Amino acid sequence: MTHAAQWEAGTALGALRGLSTQVRAARARGGADSARRRALAATLRALVERTHDFTDSAYTSHEHRQRILSLAERIAYELERLVAVAVSLEEQTGNSSGAALESACNGATSAASELERALVVAARDQAKDLAPLAEEARKLASDLAHIGNRQRKIASSCGERESERLHSIASQLHEQLDHIIEVCKLLRHIAMSETLQVSAKFAEINLRIYGPQVVTAARTLAAHPSSAAARENLDVFVDMWAWLLADAARLAKELLDLTDERPDKQQYSSLPRPGKHGTTTKPLKAVRLDSDEQAKIAKSGLEMKMMSSEMDAETEKWQGADENNDIVKRAKNMSSMAFAMYQFTKGEGRLNTTQDLFTQAEYFAEEANRLYKIVRQFSYQVPAGTIKKELLEHLDKVPTYVQQLQFTVKEPTVGRAATFSKVDNVIQETKHLMNVISKVVTTCFDCANKVPLAWETSVGVIKRHQSVAPYKLDFTGLSAAGAGRGSARDEEAAGGACGDAKPGGSSSDTAM
């Protein structure tokens, strides 16, 4: 499986490269049958929908907007030619259309490459503004905090003027926030690794959630100037705001550097780098747990070990069924990582410092994200019924727990006590995620062994005392299967990792 197949599905870059892969396959096969032609059409629809984030943005220049629209139309035209040639080849036995097929394929891949460059240029143009935007937004938040604190000390007539100024600054801050979120959205579309895509997605989500809270906290303090809790609440949100803005600015700088040096070269990092888009905003001092701290989290560590053992037991049920089972491979990876985290709580194993643990936890969340997408593809093979409903119910919980773990890992800490508290929280969130993943794997096994074939039940072949024939499900190639399935909206949901997940949502709503 290529690295590109592991990328988040819901990006313009992913759709473009998926389209190029399909076109190259058509060239290699000397045409495209009806199923592959439908897949091409679905990928084109997804691509066009994702380019809307660029063309609909109020901050995209007219020149870039026209260029993107023009290239999208050109790709549609070239694919129309390709489909027409493929239909012609299907109806004929000769090779008279071979040159036409080659020309259509070349035209489509060329247009796709040009559109990719155009999207990168448009995103870079906005990313250059993110650092000064973030600095200005940080100053506005500081002004809000200053006004909120002044309200406690000034006369009522002055307080009215300060309230007007507060509303004015709040309005400016909302405008800055909208612009920064737009930039983060575009950066996710051009990110050249899954880790950067996840970082951009979470930067967008966190800014959308916590940005308005700064204004709310300032207005609360202005309304209740004598409240110490309101003042402390505002200080906390201003600090969080500054941290999120700095994180977004660093992400933009890294993507600018990557696209500037190698705009067409694929990048991939399986593990995040601390201080960039990984566990914290700045590198933390590596800390080892002392014996007292290890004793405090010993119970959580043992529970983690039990979870790992349960996962191993579940995967053992699959042995011999299919050595290429993608679900089992991912589950075993996660079990191994959970066991390593358990060893950390005892001062053993390869994870030596808290930073090692946080990095492992983020990688654990990424692996859960990949397993989620694999099981999502597997669920399409399962016929409707109670067992499929149970599978989707467990599966829909995964995005929520992945998001909670990733957010916990990214929380900034200062001091040894805060770091230990973060270690405990990370282990707890990992346990919760491990628990739901174990249920997902168990239900997948049940689906593969207990679901009867539809035609057998319909004609009454299965009798009361007869064993039920297992539904024959294909577990190979699931990791790469998601690129061309579902509608554009489904793919967007499937690629979002967990950013917009809601507890208890439907499968289509909470896909990652």
| 14 close to 495: Cβ distance less than 8 angstroms | yes
Per-residue confidence (pLDDT) for residue 314, from 0 to 100:
65
Q: How many residues does the chain have?
A: 512
C-alpha dist (Å) from residue 32 to 95, 110, 126, 294, 442 = 14, 19, 39, 60, 38
The CA-CA-CA angle for residues 48, 49, 50, to 5°, reads 90
Per-residue confidence (pLDDT) for residue 159, from 0 to 100:
52
Per-residue confidence (pLDDT) for residue 302, from 0 to 100:
67
pLDDT by 10-residue block (mean), the chain, 512 residues: 45 84 81 81 87 86 88 87 81 63 84 88 84 78 68 49 72 81 86 78 85 80 77 81 83 78 38 41 49 61 69 64 68 84 80 84 87 83 83 86 86 75 85 87 78 38 36 46 38 36 34 34
Identify the CA nearest to 345 among candidates 402, 415, 428, 414: 428
Cα(333)–Cα(336) distance, integer angstroms: 5
Cα(162)–Cα(148) distance, integer angstroms: 9
Residues 6+ away with beta carbon under 8 Å from 445? 314, 317, 318
Which homologous superfamily does the CATH classification assign to the domain defined by 4-125? Answer: Nucleotidyltransferases  domain 2 (1.20.120.330)
Identify the CA nearest to 218 among candidates 206, 226, 230: 230
Which tokens hold the place of 386? 């109670």
The CA-CA-CA angle for residues 413, 208, 11, to 5°, reads 100
> What interhelical angle do 354-379 and 398-410 show, nearest 10?
160
Give the single-character DSSP code of 408.
H
| 394 close to 385: Cβ distance less than 8 angstroms | no
Which tokens hold the place of 301? 């560590």
| 31 close to 86: Cβ distance less than 8 angstroms | yes
92 alpha-carbon distance from chain centroid: 45
Task: Annotate 298-349 with three-state secondary structure.
Answer: HHHHHHHHHHHHHHHHHHHCCCCCCCCCHHHHHHHHHHHHHHHHHHHHCCCC
Cα(55)–Cα(67) distance, integer angstroms: 10
Could you tell me the end-to-end alpha-carbon distance of the chain, in angstroms, rounded to an integer?
19
The CA-CA-CA angle for residues 405, 408, 414, to 5°, reads 155
| 173 close to 137: Cβ distance less than 8 angstroms | yes
C-alpha dist (Å) from residue 482 to 175, 183, 241, 263 = 36, 26, 35, 25
H-helix or E-strand spanning residue 24: helix 12-29
| Segments making up each domain of the chain, as ranges | 4-125, 140-261, 291-495
Which tokens hold the place of 153? 């000390």
Q: Do 291-495 and 140-261 fall under one CATH topology?
A: yes
Instruction: Give me the numbers of helices (H) and strands (E) for the chain, helices first please.
Output: 17, 0
Identify the CA nearest to 502 among candidates 405, 390, 398: 398
Per-residue confidence (pLDDT) for residue 98, from 0 to 100:
72
Please, how many CA atoms are within 13 Å of residue 247, restricted to the half-sphere of its CB? 31
Per-residue confidence (pLDDT) for residue 469, from 0 to 100:
38
| 433 close to 409: Cβ distance less than 8 angstroms | no
Per-residue confidence (pLDDT) for residue 264, from 0 to 100:
37
pTM for this entry: 0.48
Cα(122)–Cα(467) distance, integer angstroms: 60
Domain 291-495: CATH class, spelled out: mainly alpha
| 503 close to 432: Cβ distance less than 8 angstroms | no
Sign of the dihedral through C-alpha 443, 449, 454, 460: negative
Per-residue confidence (pLDDT) for residue 45, from 0 to 100:
87
| Fold of the 140-261 domain | Four Helix Bundle (Hemerythrin (Met), subunit A) (1.20.120)
Q: How many CB atoms lie within 10 A of CB 164?
A: 10
> What interhelical angle do 98-127 and 156-190 show, nearest 10?
150
Collapse the DSSP code of 118 into the 3-class scheme (helix H, G, I; strand E, B; otherwise coil) and give the result. Answer: helix
Output phi, psi for 161, to 5 deg. Answer: -65, -40
